[in-house]
Structure 1
Amino acid sequence: MIGNLCFTIFVFFVLIFTIIAATYEPDDLLFHPSTQITNFLTSTSNATFRSDITVAKTGEDFAAPNQTVVGSFINITDVDTSSFENAADVAVQLTDCDVGPDTPIQCSDPEVFHLLMKSAIEHFKDIHFYKFGKAVPGSNDSSCDMAWRFRPKEGKTASFYKDYRRFVISRSGNCTLSVVGIGEYHSGVNARKRKKNQKPGFEKKPDSGTIQVVGETVNDTLPVVESEKAFRHGKYLLYTNGGDRCKNMNQYLWSLLCALGEAQYLNRTLVMDLSICLSSMYTSSHLDEEGKDFRFYFDFEHLKESASVLDEGQFWSDWTKWQKKDGLNLYLVEDFKVTPMKLAVVKDTLIMRKFGAVEPDNYWYRVCEGETESVVQRPWHLIWKSKRLMDIVSGIASRLNWDYDAVHVLRGEKAKNKELWPHLDTDTQPEAIISSLRDKIEEGRNLYIATDEPDTSFFNPLKDKYTTHFLDDYKDLWDEQSDWYRETMKLNNGVAVEFDGYMRISVDTEVFYRGKKQIETFNDLTSDCKDGVNT
């Protein structure tokens, strides 16, 4: 009888446990504050990096979209239309009609400004306008340029965008003005606000905000120490050598953020090597390539304004000049197991962490493992994607009027590996994609296809149902005539910069994220697991 009673109690507890396990739903971290998402992402000591992970998430990806809404956007009803004679035709009758049809347009006239605002709001129906700049003369007497800050109506990313367009204005015989043409993305170059030449400063500036603004002029000059006194009183942290070099970009960022986190914990300036080795997985030569500038890929302007950082080349130049004279000391650490907590008492000017040659014990991110991970937090908010790359993303989305759907089609080596992904090749054939999209995307829609398939003619059958668009359709945004080409070449000491594989994947992915509907490869097109069978 005692045995039966014990067995009954055992069965009862098993039943209760089974019910709890079947009905329990853990909290979804995606609905938590960004700080909890950061804790989740940094909570694994033995972090691993897979070579097939190609695009790294950065700080702006973890900012909630509603953080960008600062005040209300501008509606058509907010524009002063009291002097408009024909609102339907977006026209305005100037008060002073003592002019002829060929008289130059006065872009500074408030009524012309209201005309351009109303015309822009009516023309671009899929974006919210938050701020308009003043109208300035365009290329001739009948055109005006004007800039504005906006967000797409269905935007899922925490960013503002800036555009500036050229408006062609016509005046009729009775002095009625009307907009007869609006230029392409960034056509109103005279309205682009240029930042004044500022002397680079070492002192940390106030944070300009937690929201990236795409389309502004970029000021990512290198910070410098302006005086010997400032350098002598500074405290610095430097990571050198190690096995992270030439690894994929996710590992590079994971390790860099560990260094930034330790520098903030120790209240020191991080000395950065801005020269990146780009992994062969992103290069056209299929070889690791040295000499890539950090600023090609990430927003250094935001980093230097939000944290205390210094270029390594500039630092060693100043160190050589003043080290002996001022008695500056270096504290060398050659074991990643020496925690930041132990280094908090070090008073030397420079703490240098030197990493050896044995992988994985020479990875920078090892510093932030173990007991350190509960003390040093990776400051994700400091790293944003390059504004120059994001400007290309904005250009593509603007040409599609921010009114498009997107599908991600991943094929490449995975589609060839039938052992790990048995159905991927079949499920990403054009006929299968059309079948998958039939109930998800309406026929005739603009469809942006983000893909690693090199031959885009592979997707020609989709043209019968949709208007298809690919990254290479917009090559002019990074060719020799583009702002991106000129600005990156200037950063690269006059040498042209290749629009490399990481840039392509990054832009392709970001355009995909801005589609109104987003169809993923592994969530929507195929039932195969993202990392292969049984994962």
Structure 2
Amino acid sequence: MFLQRTLVMPSRMCINPLHNKKGILHHSDNASLEDRWAASSCAMDSLYDMDLISDTVPVILDNSELWYQILSTSMKLGAREIAHVEGVSRVALNENNLYSNLVLINRTASPLSWFMECKDRNNRSAIMLPYSFLPSMAAKKLRDVADKVKAVLGDYDAIHVRRGDKMKTRKDKFGVERTLHPHLDRDTRPEFILRRIEKWVPPGRTIFIASNERTPGFFSLLSVRYKLAYSSNYSQILDPLIENNYQLFMIERLIMMGAKTFIKTFKLDETDLYLTDDPKKNNKMWQIPVYTMDEEGS
């Protein structure tokens, strides 16, 4: 965007089997459908709409004809037209004339990043694009599916409840369980969610819940006050089209973005509504989990 250059994205994305268990959607007797869920990678354009992204930042895939032309030209011209700039700052790339006329600039992103906008994690004022940019750039097929689910939901609110991966514990040298998010398990249990959201969501509202909690009926207690909806309620819409949990997550993000009131697990921005006061990124202090309000002062 600020460099006035075209970005090249990989044409396929690796799928981590840890994030791709078909837990909440129905299993199918269709062997080819089940095989797709067992795949080790998926096409990038099955996740993102490249044309839509290109309205803001020009993007091509590394299996496109244009990319082959660029790569071929660069190889013919030699090193004077190619630069590997891992670790070079955005300011240097923007202001240094050395990079302005190059055909190809190779800047590899962090291999640990997924679904992460180009930004400085330690300086949120450095964000070039809003956090909602990539989720809203989902492939048209995914946007259409999300719109169908939203149409069925009607007027609704949404909660993203992140549990499993963030509740990792380990024992200290005395055998005591400790965690990086001491209140998360408590704050994301239904009895505490009810208490937390009562001032934001009136009784009787429909709440769409997106969560990595896999215990059946875990959030059922919320039904004493609200009508509950999950992705699994819309399997008839989702099953024929969704091939992996990455696509499902992107659809859920679109659904949550369309809610009247959206409550996150962690606070990310000043205007956010959120379930726990634990910071999403902490100082790596492993603490004893807190499970009741009475334990707060102990």
Normalising by structure 2, what TM-score? 0.61
1:343 aligned partner, one-letter code:
L
Cα pair distance change 1:273/1:398, threshold 3 Å: same
| Aligned residue in 1 for 2:201 | 441
1:499 paired to 2:234: no
Counterpart CA distance in 1 for 2:189 and 2:127 is: 43
Deviation at 1:377?
Answer: 9.3
The aligned amino acid for 1:387 is K
Structure 1 match to 2:164: 412
1:296 alignment partner in structure 2: 46
For residues 446-485 of structure 1, the aligned pairs below 5 Å read 446-480=206-240, 485=241
SS at match of 1:448: strand
**How far 1:509 sits from its partner (Å)?**
2.9
RMSD: 4.2
Q: What amino acid is the match of 1:294?
A: M
Q: Please show how residues 113-152 of structure 1 align to structure 2 within 5 Å.
A: none
CA distance in structure 1 between the aligned counterparts of 2:129 and 2:263, rounded to whole angstroms: 31
**Structure with greater Cα Rg:** 1
Greater mean deviation of Cα atoms: 378-387 or 447-456? 378-387
Decide whether the 8 Å contact of 2:156 with 2:206 is kept in 1.
yes
One of 255, 258, 262 as aligned partner of 1:518: 262
Residue 399 of structure 1 corresponds to: 152
Equivalent-residue separation in structure 2 for 1:377 and 1:437 (angstroms): 29
Q: Indicate if the aligned counterparts of 2:167 and 2:179 stay in contact, CA closer than 8 A.
A: no
Task: Select which of 21, 34, 42 maps to 1:284.
Answer: 21
Corresponding residue SS for 1:498: coil
**How many correspondences in the alignment?**
235
Structure 1 pair 281–531 and aligned structure 2 pair: CA distance change class (3 A):
farther
Q: Deviations over 1:185-211 (max 9, x none)?
A: xxxxxxxxxxxxxxxxxxxxxxxxxxx
Structure 2 letter corresponding to 1:514:
G
Shift of 1:457: 0.8
SS of equivalent to 2:13: strand
User: Distance in 2 between the 1:508 and 1:464 partners?
Assistant: 24
Displacement of 1:447:
1.7
AA matched with 1:284: K
Amino acid at match of 1:396: V
Distance in 2 (alpha carbons) for counterparts of 1:526 and 1:382? 25
Q: Which structure ranks higher in relative contact order (CA pairs < 8 Å, sequence separation ≥ 6)?
A: 2
* Per-residue CA distance 1:115-158 (angstroms, 9 max, x = gap): xxxxxxxxxxxxxxxxxxxxxxxxxxxxxxxxxxxxxxxxxxxx
User: For 1:458, what is the secondary structure of its paired residue?
Assistant: coil
Quick one: structure 1 residues 520 and 344, their matched pair in 2 at CA, closer, same or farther if it must change by over 3 Å? closer
1:309 deviates by 4.6
Distance 2:45 2:179 in 1: 40
Aligned residues of 2:50 and 2:59 also touching (Cα < 8 A): no
- String of CA shifts for 1:311-365, please: whole Å, max 9, x gaps: 4332465579x869xx95242324544953233464x7x335386xxx89xxxx9
Contact 1:261 1:379 in 2 (8 A): no
For structure 1, the 5+ residue unaligned runs are: 1-259, 370-375, 486-496
In structure 1, distance between residues paired with 2:277 and 2:107: 45
Asked whether the 8 Å contact 2:191–2:221 carries over to 1, the reply is: yes
**Alpha-carbon distance between aligned partners in 2 of 1:479 and 1:526, rounded to the nearest angstrom:** 32
Q: What residue number does 2:142 align with?
A: 389
What is the CA distance between 1:456 and its match in structure 2? 4.0
Contact 2:158 2:261 survives alignment (8 Å) = yes
Aligned identity (percent) is 24
Deviates more, 1:464-473 or 1:410-419: 410-419
Q: Following TM superposition, where does structure 1 have runs of at least 4 consecutive aligned residues deviating by more than 6 angstroms?
A: 379-382
1:307 and 1:524 map into 2 onto residues whose CA distance is 31
Matched, 1:342 2:97: yes
**Cα distance between partner residues in 1 of 2:13 and 2:152:** 32
Structure 2 CA distance for aligned equivalents of residues 534 and 459 of structure 1: 29
1:351 aligns with 2:98: no
Q: Relative to 1, partners in 2 of residues 1:419 and 1:473: Cα closer, same or farther, differing over 3 Å? A: same
Q: Secondary structure at the match of 1:503?
A: helix
SS at match of 1:333: strand
1:74-113 to 2 correspondences below 5 Å = none
Deviation at 1:470, TM superposition (A): 0.7
Pair 1:519–1:299, CA change in 2 (3 A): same
Q: What residue in structure 1 maps to residue 292 of structure 2? A: none
Shift of 1:446: 1.3
Post-superposition offset of 1:271: 4.7
1:301 Cα shift? 1.9
Change in 2 beyond 3 A, CA 1:526/1:291: closer
Q: Do the aligned residues in 2 keep the contact of 1:423 with 1:528 (CA within 8 Å)? A: yes
Query: Equivalent of 1:430, from 178, 186, 190?
Result: 190
SS of aligned partner of 2:219: helix
SS in 1 for 2:46: helix
Tell me what 2:252 maps to: 508
Tell me, yes or no, if the aligned pair for 2:159 and 2:263 is still in contact at 8 Å: yes
* Residue in 2 that maps onto 1:421: 181
SS of the residue aligned with 2:97?
Answer: helix
Amino acid at match of 1:412: G
Residues 354 and 415 of structure 1: CA distance in aligned 2, closer, same or farther (over 3 Å) = closer
Determine helix, strand or coil for the equivalent of 2:51: helix
Give the letter aligned to residue 46 of structure 2.
Answer: F
CA 379–411 in structure 1, closer or farther in 2 if over 3 Å, else same? closer
Q: Structure 2 matches for 1:29-68, cutoff 5 A? A: none
Task: State the distance in 2 between where 1:316 and 1:437 align.
Answer: 49
Post-superposition CA distance 1:393-417 (Å, at most 9, x none): 222221011x112223222133353
Deviations 1:249-299, CA, capped at 9 Å, x for gaps = xxxxxxxxxxx654x1xxx554543222345553339xx976422212222
